[in-house]
Amino acid sequence: MHNFQYKKSELYAEDVPVRKIVEKYGTPLYIYSYTTLVRHYKAFENAFNGSPHIICFALKANSNAAILKTLAKEGCGADVVSGGELFLAMKAGIPANKTVYAGVGKTGEEIRYALKSGILMFNIESADELRTINKIAGESGVRAPIAFRVNPNINASTHPYISTGLKKHKFGIPMEHAIENYRLARKMPNINIIGIHCHIGSQITKISPFVEAVKKVLLLADKLKTHGIKIKYLDIGGGLGITYGNEVSPHPADIAKKIIPVIKDDHFTLILEPGRSIVGNAGILVTKVLYLKKSHKKEFVIVDAGMNDLIRPSLYEAYHHILPARKNRRAEILADVVGPICESGDFFARERKLNAPARGDLLAVMSAGAYGFSMSSNYNGRLRSAEILVKGCEYFVIRERETWKDLVRGEKIPGFLR
């Protein structure tokens, strides 16, 4: 559910016409709904209320400072995968002791920064990483809190590029090797074992893979107990899907009803890492129609946003609803909605039915709040868009549009070229 709705024929972001925001700030433009963000976060909090838990927002989905500040004020933690994301989380007011740090390639500099900051725990992905963290923790005079990310070999039934829980994936440690890795960690003087972590993928629209993963992790926790290794935190990752097209995604309460009874006797503190399910439907990308083109019996709607603004359709062939900012009664056409980038993969929709737009019309690419701006780039010398946060009848710039000067910021020309 989101707060982008039509009032008569005009698309609104909460209580503000989308067209009004665009008239002031131009396109392409990301617009977020504050009310939707808070409601989605509280859906997780309320679902697991009464059971010890920490909701750690996955910064990879959207790391805008105002988005993070909104969640921080609600009491949210963070799931980070780089030193930069840890910096952004803490700068926004998310406590380090409510932050988990995952990722297969943590650098020494990032590990030192995380230890100094006092994060809740590292989710370790390999024995090599474990040895590195132990060494750096010793040099830093601290004990590093850790969990191993285990790979439960579960098919999450999602796109191959965002499935992470099978043996063939680079993520985590195979479940059958978990015990030996935990025993190795126990021998290390600068390691404090406190958790188990698993994350099986993203945009998952069924409850059963989550439940299956939790059951496998609980079996591992029981085995660890027989080796004298006690687990406090059970991190079940994120990955809950949202509705982009016709998907029917479970509510956090649906997952809680299945998972809490399974773990209630084990006295774990549960950690969840939602990202897309909080911010995905809280944002849209607004773009302007530049040209209409017919070629070889095919129609194209050429817009001013491109794959550099929202790469999901190009990267995953992902579906996004595309709605007009103002409804029209023109004849329906079948067209590709494409951007200005010099790539054939630069599209938002292929063979999509829509009422024929006219030049200058505004289109809203829906459900663009997650993995939109966070994956954007300056490819083709394109400027990254502005971002706006709407709360009721007010709206605020939370990131200014880049300028051409930003394209060369930080670059230097060697003296011999001058």
Tell me, yes or no, whether 250 and 113 share the same domain: yes
User: Residue for token digits 């920490």?
Assistant: 54
pLDDT at residue 1, rounded to an integer = 64
Own/partner long-range contacts of 346-351 (Cβ < 8 Å, ≥24 apart): 346/306, 346/307, 346/314, 347/307, 347/313, 347/314, 348/287, 348/303, 348/305, 348/310, 348/313, 348/320, 348/322, 349/313, 349/319, 349/320, 349/322
Q: Which residues of 103-132 are buried (b: 16+ CB within 10 A; e: fewer)?
A: beebeeebbebbbebebbbbbbbbeebbeb
215 found inside a domain: yes
Structural domain boundaries, residue 247: 95-274
Tell me, yes or no, whether 253 and 376 share the same domain: no
Domain stop point among 217, 251, 274: 274
Domain stop point among 221, 249, 274: 274
415 found inside a domain: no
pLDDT at residue 155, rounded to an integer = 57
Tell me, yes or no, whether 269 and 289 share the same domain: no
Written as tens digits, the pLDDT of the chain (418 aa) is 689 999 999 999 999 999 999 999 999 999 999 999 999 999 999 999 989 999 999 999 999 999 999 999 999 999 999 999 999 999 999 999 999 999 999 999 999 999 999 999 999 999 999 999 999 999 999 999 999 999 887 754 443 433 443 444 556 898 899 999 999 999 999 999 999 999 888 788 888 888 888 888 999 999 999 999 999 999 999 988 998 988 888 899 999 999 999 887 778 999 999 999 999 999 999 999 999 999 878 999 999 999 999 999 999 899 999 999 999 999 999 999 999 999 999 999 999 999 999 999 999 999 999 999 999 999 999 999 999 999 999 999 999 999 999 999 999 999 999 9
82 found inside a domain: no
Domain stop point among 274, 289, 321: 274
Tell me, yes or no, whether 114 and 254 share the same domain: yes
Tell me, yes or no, whether 140 and 259 share the same domain: yes
Tell me, yes or no, whether 340 and 319 share the same domain: yes
Tell me, yes or no, whether 232 and 308 share the same domain: no
288 found inside a domain: yes
Tell me, yes or no, whether 127 and 239 share the same domain: yes
Q: Reduced to 3 states, what is the DSSP secondary structure of residue 50? A: coil
In the set 76, 198, 342, 393, the catalytic residue is 342
Tell me, yes or no, whether 24 and 164 share the same domain: no
- How much is the pTM? 0.94
Tell me, yes or no, whether 291 and 250 share the same domain: no
CATH number at residue 317: 2.40.37.10
124 found inside a domain: yes
21 found inside a domain: yes
Does the annotation count 342 as an active-site position? yes
| pLDDT (tens digit per residue) in 351-388 | 999 999 999 999 999 999 999 999 999 999 999 999 99
Tell me, yes or no, whether 244 and 296 share the same domain: no
Q: How many domains does the chain have?
A: 2
Question: Cα torsion for 25, 60, 40, 55, to the nearest 10°?
Answer: -140
* Kind plus residue range of the DSSP H or E element containing 208: helix 208-226
Residues 6 or more apart whose CB falls under 8 angstroms from that of 144 comprise 111, 115, 122, 133, 134, 136, 137, 190, 191, 192
Please give the biggest Cα pair distance in the chain.
Answer: 71
